[in-house]
Amino acid sequence: MNEERKKERKKERKKAPIILLAVGILIVVLAAAWWLFVRPQLQWLALEDIAVEVTWQEEETALQMFTGTITIALDTHESVAYIGNERIVMRDGVRIRNSRPYIRMRDTAILNENIAAIIEADMSAPVGVIVNGLYGQGTEAQNAMIHSLLGGELARDRFEVYFQWYNTIHELGHLITVHHGTFGPHDMEGTRHMVDEELLVNSFAVAFWMHFGEDEKIYALEEMVNYVLSNLAPPVENMNHLDFMREAIDEERFEEVFTFEIYGWFQFSMVHAILQERDSLDLALLLAEMTGMENIQLQPPSQLLVYPVLGVDMVPQIVADAVSVLRNLGVSVPDVYIAFDTDPNNHSLQYPMSRVILEMSIATGRIIPAYR
């Protein structure tokens, strides 16, 4: 009898590892099924200090960049984005307040409605994103056109001086005018024209670099503008750049004029004219017009903003330095971020932008903080 019991126990001991293995396999299969099929259907709404998970289904952000899953851990300011198989973690992110702890839901329409409400509330302190087009990263036709227009071997240097040094401050000027309600968006009050805003922010950018920048780059900017204009035929005869663009905008001929050649001719002509009168520019008066502030006191800078080497890596530093000196003058400037675009024609401003949307774009690596 004892021998039979020993044999049965021996058989049971042999079966145990097999049973454990089967249970382990079952657990792995169930976990994989939950991860692959159940988890994507669970959508978490961003509320109070609870981690948030949202499965975007071809939803577009303000920059139309993001499709994937993002988690925002509000208590630690950490965000995690899942783009395909890639897991991207961002820290120092966004914080959202709400009275309820969390809601889990499957209805995408309800989820999007709640996110829209959060974004609307978040717009009380919007941020700005300066979009900077990259040299040599566009289509073959774009790259060849810009390379030829800017002078072949010197094309990259000229591109960097204008678009990554000078035009970054131009876009910052747009941000300041819109933030202070001077213009924005263009001609919102129906009292001032887009051309007037371009004239103001270009005058500001030249005056800013005249006061805080280095003479060498001002001369390089002037050389670049003169060179390009010598190779760009005016789109019309017997009409200057200001009158031409004012008429084109009023007649809504946007597709015609918003090309690198024509809009570039307009902008380069304007900068050329401003540079000819640069000694008469008054940065304090320009800032007063842009912000509505009075009695802005400008002192000679203790240190010039000098950048021996330009390029994409220097753009966030240029913005950070500019925002710092402007805030020291008492000018209110929103937090600023930089986005790089492979389209060399895209040099623009996104404002106002919700921090929630911004955080989603930061997680993709398309936007980087410049100054906060």
Give the domain-ending residue among 52, 87, 122: 122
E strand residue ranges, the chain: 43-44, 52-55, 69-73, 78-83, 86-91, 104-105, 127-133, 336-341, 347-353, 367-371
**What torsion do the CA atoms of 198, 199, 205, 207 make, to the nearest 10 degrees?**
-170
Q: What is the pLDDT of residues 247-258, one digit of tens each?
A: 998 898 988 998
Residue 325 covered by a domain: yes
Looking at residue 350, its pLDDT comes to: 81
Q: What are φ and ψ of residue 71, in 5° steps?
A: -115, 130
Q: pLDDT: is 280 or 350 the higher one?
A: 280
DSSP for 185-211 reads TTTTTSSS-HHHHHHHHHHHHHHHHHH
Q: Which domain holds residue 278?
A: 127-353
SS3 percent helix, strand, coil of the chain, rounded to 5, is: 55, 15, 35
Looking at residue 30, its pLDDT comes to: 82
Residue 18 covered by a domain: no
Look at the chain and report how many structural domains it folds into.
Answer: 2
C-beta neighbour count of 179 within 10 angstroms: 19
Same domain, 115 and 173: no
Cα–chain center distance at 238: 39
Same domain, 87 and 163: no
Same domain, 71 and 212: no
Residue 35 covered by a domain: no
Tokens of 46: 């961003």
Asked whether the predicted pLDDT for residue 166 surpasses 90, the reply is: yes
Residue 372 covered by a domain: no
Asked whether the predicted pLDDT for residue 312 surpasses 70, the reply is: yes
Same domain, 199 and 54: no
Q: What is the pLDDT of residues 9-68, one digit of tens each?
A: 666 666 667 777 777 788 888 878 766 665 544 433 332 222 333 333 333 333 233 333
Same domain, 255 and 312: yes
Cα separation, 254 vs 267, in Å, equals: 15
Cα separation, 192 vs 332, in Å, equals: 22
Residues 72/359, Cβ–Cβ less than 8 Å: yes
Helices (H) and strands (E) in the chain — how many of each?
A: 13, 10
Looking at residue 133, its pLDDT comes to: 87
Residue 52 covered by a domain: yes
Q: What is the pLDDT of residues 216-275, one digit of tens each?
A: 999 999 999 999 999 999 999 889 999 999 999 889 898 899 888 899 999 999 999 999
